[in-house]
Amino acid sequence: MTKIFPVKFDDIRVALVDQVQLATELTCILAEPESQNYPRPAKPYFTLKFTGPAGKSGDDSATNVPNNLGQPTTVWNRGGQRKVMVDFNCYATSHEQAYNYMTLWQAALEQETVQANLRLAGIAVWLNGSVTDLSALLNTGYEGRAHMEVKFGVAANLTEDLGAIEHITIVGEISPT
């Protein structure tokens, strides 16, 4: 049986990687490679990593899914908003180059075209982060590193069929009114 997942992280990753690459014209890779010895691309490049996937935001709703005639069914759609935190890092040959690319990505997240493309994948930009100097935090003066954490919103939906009631057991007496 194929599982339907309420949040499709692969689709979110693909959409974010595509938009980073379109905005910066740099390669963007996942910070969690499938293989431990996965080689890094040539500098400059971006990485992204989910640091807070699918935090619940607000109350979920339950909505009846009507049939083709608009009548209620036993199928319900339950869902709500989820907060997804993503860390973006830019690795470059100088600090300034890393900052420039990260501020370019930061500005791109404010553009209508980038937000529209992300919305097509079900992603909303909730809070665009500040660019920080990752080089200073990690004491890596030999390469420029810029960091930004962004909060995105995604919808989580899952459908369930409650089924029909087939039997009713009555205990006691029934009297006509």
For position 97, what pLDDT does the model report? Answer: 92
For position 141, what pLDDT does the model report? Answer: 59
Position 156 in a domain: no
Whether the bond between 44 and the residue before it is cis, its omega within 30 degrees of 0, is yes
For position 82, what pLDDT does the model report? Answer: 79
Q: What is the pTM of this model?
A: 0.74
Position 76 in a domain: no
What are the tens digits of pLDDT across the range 27-85? 888 877 565 666 788 899 999 988 877 776 677 777 777 878 878 777 777 777 778 89
Position 115 in a domain: yes
For position 80, what pLDDT does the model report? Answer: 76
CATH number at residue 135: 3.30.2000.10
Q: Which of 103, 82, 177, 83 is nearest to 146 (CA)?
A: 103
Position 170 in a domain: no
Host domain of residue 129: 9-61+83-151
What are the tens digits of pLDDT across the range 90-122? 999 988 899 999 999 999 999 999 999 999 888
For residues 151 and 123, the answer to whether their CB atoms sit within 8 Å is no
Report the C-alpha gap between 28 and 144 in whole angstroms: 16
Position 75 in a domain: no
- End-to-end CA gap in the chain: 49
Residue-wise DSSP of 35-64: STTPPPPSSSEEEEEEEEEEEEEEEEEEEE
Position 135 in a domain: yes
Give the chain's mean pLDDT: 82
Position 124 in a domain: yes
Structural domain count of the chain? 1
